[in-house]
């Protein structure tokens, strides 16, 4: 977590402390987790302070992703007087279901035909010297204009009114949300869809910056995820001990455990 917090310090001009802490918590969970990346899945891999409601609040927060990307790229990924190009590309993400915001049929070059899903346009900064591309903004391509909600008619109001003494079933937790069987609602509303797409692009910049750190420089992206997953397992295991060990022991344990699943394992000198 300390490595991620240090990287996100440059975002303080455009993020409050609470949102910045939530972002760091979610980033660490996504780097460590396995399986589908959903709000519920993220909450299961977060440390203290990363509950399901906290993850929901983050993805429903209005964020200026253009500034976030630019502040981060300028601080960690670009050098002074570097030649940079800007490029845009549209991509289609396949998606099942019917409730996702602006779910439609878009052409996919991978399938060679129109497929049901979402379409996004991403702008990236291309470093000419490093031959690297860094996403700076992602916007959803909307085919249909949002429909204006019409006020309910008098007949609808009368038919929808409840009798006195009846229980209000509209209150409380939605049926099925306790056991997580419902689809994650982050894919339904416009703002969570926008935040999820930009967060996915932000993770590309995060991993690029982490791999520039001395502790993670020889690692691939998969090795990086293995290291964070091992750190999560080690911390959870050490919680079972009656006394917390020293920090140096924890670092050594994480290094040893992560080497079990890493491709590029460092060779230690005798």
**How confident is the model at residue 216, as a pLDDT?**
79
**How confident is the model at residue 189, as a pLDDT?**
79
- pLDDT tens string 16-58: 999 999 999 999 999 988 888 888 888 888 887 788 899 989 9
Query: Which band of pLDDT confidence, cut at 50, 70 and 90, is reported for residue 225?
Result: confident
**How confident is the model at residue 23, as a pLDDT?**
93
Q: Which two tokens stand for residue 247?
A: 């920090």
- Per DSSP, the residues of 197-266 read HHHHHHHHHHHHHHTTSTTTTT--HHHHHHHHHHHHHHHHHHTTSSS---HHHHHHHHHHHHTTT-SSPP
How many Cα neighbours within 13 Å face the side chain of 2?
4
Q: Which two tokens stand for residue 147?
A: 């429909």
- pLDDT tens string 158-198: 555 544 544 444 444 433 333 333 334 445 678 888 898 89
- pLDDT tens string 147-165: 554 555 555 555 555 445 4
Looking at per-residue confidence, does 160 or 215 come out higher? 215
**How confident is the model at residue 268, as a pLDDT?**
46
Inform me whether the pLDDT recorded for 199 exceeds 90: yes
d(CA 10, CA 8) in angstroms, rounded, equals: 5
Which of 100, 102, 128, 104 minimizes the C-alpha distance to 114?
104
Inform me whether the pLDDT recorded for 71 exceeds 60: yes
CB contact at 8 A, 204 and 135: yes
How many Cα neighbours within 13 Å face the side chain of 198?
26
Cβ contacts of 111 within 8 Å, gap of 6 or more = none
């Amino acid at each position: 977590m300390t490595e991620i917090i240090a990287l996100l310090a440059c975002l303080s001009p455009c993020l409050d402390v609470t949102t910045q802490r939530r972002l760091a918590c979610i980033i660490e969970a996504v780097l460590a987790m396995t399986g589908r990346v959903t709000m519920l899945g993220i909450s299961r891999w977060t440390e203290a302070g990363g509950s399901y409601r906290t993850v929901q609040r983050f993805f429903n927060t209005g964020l200026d992703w253009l500034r976030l990307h630019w502040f981060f790229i300028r601080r960690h990924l670009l050098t002074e007087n570097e030649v940079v190009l800007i490029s845009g590309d549209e991509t289609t993400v396949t998606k099942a279901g019917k409730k996702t915001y602006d779910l439609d049929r878009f052409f996919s070059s991978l399938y060679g035909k129109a497929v049901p899903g979402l379409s996004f346009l991403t702008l990236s900064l291309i470093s000419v010297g490093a031959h690297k591309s860094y996403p700076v903004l992602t916007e959803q391509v909307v085919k249909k204009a949002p429909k204006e909600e019409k006020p309910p008619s008098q007949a609808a109001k009368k038919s929808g009114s409840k009798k006195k003494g009846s229980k209000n079933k509209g209150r409380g937790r939605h049926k099925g949300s306790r056991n997580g069987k419902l689809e994650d609602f982050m894919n339904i509303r416009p703002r969570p869809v926008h935040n999820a797409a930009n967060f996915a692009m932000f993770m590309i910049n995060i991993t690029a910056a982490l791999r520039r750190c001395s502790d993670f420089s020889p690692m691939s992206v998969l090795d990086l995820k293995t290291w964070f997953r091992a750190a999560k397992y080690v911390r959870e295991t050490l919680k079972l001990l009656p006394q917390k060990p020293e920090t140096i022991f924890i670092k050594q344990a994480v290094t040893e455990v992560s080497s079990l699943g890493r491709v590029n394992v460092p060779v230690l000198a005798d």
